[in-house]
Amino acid sequence: MQKTKLAATTKTDNGLSYSVRIEATFGSQFQRAVAIKNLNGLLAAWKEVTLSQHKKNAITVTRGRD
């Protein structure tokens, strides 16, 4: 497994920020589609719950291909 540096976390005034970058390679288009669909569903549910828990919570999900 290749080791990578941790991505820099965006700084906030209160220090309560966290960022994650996921890099994945898939064996087939089907595997990619299923994994992305599941990940998007998980992120949407997590975002909805987290935003409802506190008015100062903010979440940005950025999607893209490298």
What is the model's pLDDT at position 14? 75
Under 8 Å between Cβ of 11 and 17: yes
Give the per-residue pLDDT at 35: 96
Task: Note the pLDDT of residue 9.
Answer: 56
- Is residue 64 very low, low, confident or very high in pLDDT (cuts 50, 70, 90)? confident
Closest C-alpha to 61, from 21, 4, 12 = 21
Model pLDDT for residues 2-56, shown as the tens digit of each residue: 555 555 556 667 778 888 889 999 999 999 999 999 999 999 999 999 999 999 9
Length of the chain: 66
